[in-house]
Amino acid sequence: MLSPTSLLHLEWIKKHPLFVPYGSVHEKTYFEDMMVVYKSLALFQPNSVEFLADDFFKVDLKQFESYEERLATKKIQYDIAVKHIDYFCTIGFNHQTWSVDKCVTVINTILSFPWVEKCRAVFEYHRENGEHPHCHLLITCQIQKSKVVEKLWATKGIKKVCLKKTFIDVKPAIPAHYKYILLDKQESKLNYVKLDRSWRLFNQIPEYFEK
């Protein structure tokens, strides 16, 4: 006859069919194997079965508690991984192959992607060390940084206007980036902001692209 604690333990195992102690291997199910163990103990060590059952049960409960904690931690990590994240992206266009139309098409294609939940993009040309066509994008999505780079590099037409994948820079957005995408830049760059506004107007480029 099985002891009270062994019966409780077996009932608990039955209610947690996915639980298996760390490192254990079972020919059948854990429940079936423990049933054999407890029947053998009841037959050959009846005076020890209650003590051993109590010990087995405590070990399983402790391991299960640890498993639940690790599961909760993984869920938190997963939630963090898939939460809405803002990335500040910069695409440097190739001086030899770019054109306004081709770059604008690429920017609009990026905004059309389902994975891009929100985006504000600014096409710029002037900078401190000369002229350089490039685009800044503040993208909200639920994917990791490395995948953002890959997806941007896979944009139709981007390889015609961007020489290498390394010319795509993606960073998690910080407060300064939110100001930057609104063209709220430091005083030393304000002249380039004005030049870019005139350049966009002349080339019929929107002041900013938005989704």
d(CA 10, CA 38): 9
Within 10 angstroms of residue 161's Cβ, the number of other Cβ atoms is 22
List, for residues 82-135, the tens digit of each pLDDT value: 577 899 999 999 999 999 999 999 999 999 999 999 999 999 999 888 899 999
Give the CA angle between residues 97, 184, 210 to the nearest 5°.
55
At 168-198, the pLDDT tens digits run: 999 999 988 999 999 888 888 889 999 999 9
Residue-number span of the structural domain to which 10 is assigned: 4-81
Which of the pair, 45 or 148, is modelled with greater confidence? 148
Query: pTM (2 decimals)?
Result: 0.61
Same domain, 52 and 105: no
**CATH number where 106 lies:** 3.30.70.260
Digit-coded pLDDT (tens) for 131-157: 999 999 999 998 888 999 999 999 999
- In DSSP terms, 127 is beta-bridged to 130
Same domain, 77 and 90: no
Tokens of 86: 């803002």
Neighbours of 11 (CB within 10 A): 10
| 149 burial level (CB within 10 Å; 0-12, 13-18, 19+) | middle
* 89, 134: one domain: yes
* 147 and 174 part of one domain: yes
% of the chain surpassing 70 pLDDT: 93
